[in-house]
Structure 1
Amino acid sequence: MTIELQAVIFDLDGVITDTAEHHYLAWKAIGDELKLPFTREFNEKLKGVSRLESLRLLLSLSPTELQYSEQQLHELAERKNELYKQLISQIKPSDVLPGIPELIADLKQRGIKTAIASASKNAFAVIRNLQMEQQFDVIVDAATIKNSKPDPEVFLAAAQQLGVEPKACVGIEDAVAGVEAIIAADMTAIAIGKQEHFPHAHHTYASTAELNAEQLIDIHRKVISL
């Protein structure tokens, strides 16, 4: 029996809107404060990773092992978050990435459900600033998720809250850890970015502007039939 596509689950940062620059600037400020050589290239490793795990990766840049208590780690992570929240407060509806409004409208018309599965605890604030609260059937609360991507927990939570089997879902990500999480969740994995960065994705688009509901249905059908 063929399993038809019933839901599309989106990452937020880099898929619905590009908050990557906001994250970079906030982490860069923390890195500068700690005199760590934080670069845009290293920032790529933080995509799709939780705040505390991102902080630990940032601290690994120190040539000498930095010792912090759990309280100090949480304080640093919270300071980064406050910087980030100041930056994202400027996000507006026109900051939705190309092709996303049209894709969501098409999915809705076809009766295909939609969800946000983001590691960001600020997902609700970003979606609110984009004025897209009514566009998604489910926005997973990252505060309820224990395991960061590439663990599939957040995608499985989205499917469960939608009332859909994982195999009936397509996940869309722009981070390697996110694509791995989608595959681990037994979903069809769509990547946004350069194809060579996502060897395990079922399909890669160079940008969100290329996303197409009919193609997603076709890709999902082919993956299910393998």
Structure 2
Amino acid sequence: MKQLQGVLFDLDGVIVDTVPYYYEATKQLADELRLPFSEEDNIRFQGRPRMDLMNHLVGDRYTHEEKVELGERRNRYYQERIATLTRADMMPGIEDFIEQLLKEGIPIALTSSSSNAEFVLQQIQLLDAFTAVIDPKSVSKGKPHPDIFLKGAEAIMVPEENCVAIEDGEAGLAAILQTNMYAVGIGPYDHLQQADWHILDSTKLTVSALKENFYKKQ
């Protein structure tokens, strides 16, 4: 029988609402290049590697090296925005949920597509709560490939079938569904209905509710 022994968290849209900052930073770059970029595009590329977004945004107009530079420019715009983050910017209920997990001795890891993940956790004073931070530098293939979640389970030394992974992005959920992990989807998006447990917002996350749904799936 499976046992709930570890939890993996996405960052953006799960722990802190930085998704609008991604949109603003990318829209700033797109406007400078006189290229279209919509909020729907932002949702679609949420959680995917930076170069996937750059390839979508500029297509064949630029060389690979130029796309890398543009991606770095966009990242600077994003960093300017997240520099103001504080603990108050955490998603509702997440801080209490993490405290509950740690009190029960359940290790947690961050599994994020953001190269700024550690910086964000430092800003919201949550870095020390995580056993490990797995980001794009830790794996060769980003979401929707499952590598980042498998690496997270390995980092907290929990078999993947005993891990819960929490996501709000389409690419992230697709990655979890390629593993034997229990998938929790947070948000109003249709694609999250494929999760093992789908909740509309983070206030519904408690250890007791998670355990109830996790063991119900057995």
* Alignment equivalent of 2:75, drawn from 74, 81, 85: 81
Residue identity over aligned pairs, in percent, reads 35
Aligned to 2:45: 46
Segments of structure 1 that go 5 or more residues without pairing to the other structure are 61-65
How far residue 131 of structure 1 moved from its aligned partner, in angstroms, is 0.5
Contact 1:194 1:204 in 2 (8 A): no
CA deviation string 1:202-224 (max 9, x = no partner): 1111111111111212222233x
Residue 101 of structure 1 aligns with an amino acid whose one-letter code is: E
Using the TM superposition, give the Cα deviation of residue 91 of structure 1 relative to its aligned residue in structure 2, in angstroms: 0.5
1:105 equivalent to 2:99? Answer yes
Counterpart check, 1:133 vs 2:122: no
Instruction: Check the 8 A contact 1:121/1:143 in 2, yes or no.
Output: yes
What's the TM-score once normalised by structure 1's chain length?
0.93
Q: Quick one: which of 126, 134, 138 aligns to 1:144?
A: 138
Partners of 1:83 and 1:145 in 2: CA distance: 25
Matched residues in 1 for 2:170 and 2:112: separation?
14
User: Which residue of structure 2 lines up, in the alignment, with residue 63 of structure 1?
Assistant: none
Aligned residue for 1:180, secondary structure, equals: helix
Q: Separation in 1 of the partners of 2:209 and 2:189?
A: 17
Q: Does 1:124 align with 2:118?
A: yes
- Corresponding residue for residue 154 of structure 1: 148
CA contact (8 A) 1:96 1:130 kept: yes
Q: After TM superposition, which residue ranges in structure 1, 4 or more long, deviate above 4 angstroms? A: none
> Could you tell me how far 1:82 is from its partner in structure 2?
0.8
Q: Select the residue among 55, 65, 74 that pairs with 1:71.
A: 65
Mapping of residues 10-29 of structure 1, within 5 Å: 10-29=9-28
Unpaired runs of at least 5, structure 2? none
Match of 1:75, SS state, is helix
Please give the TM-score of this superposition, normalised by the length of structure 2.
0.96
Deviation at 1:195, TM superposition (A): 5.9
Task: Spell out, residue by residue over 1:165-191, the C-alpha distance to the aligned partner (whole angstroms, 9 max, x if none).
Answer: 000001100111111111112100000
Q: How many residues are treated as equivalent by the alignment?
A: 218
Contact between 2:109 and 2:152, CA under 8 Å: does it hold in 1?
yes
For 1:139 and 1:195, locate their aligned partners in 2 and report how far apart those are by CA, in whole Å.
Answer: 26
Which AA in structure 1 matches 2:106? Answer: I
Q: Report the RMSD for the aligned CA atoms in angstroms.
A: 1.2
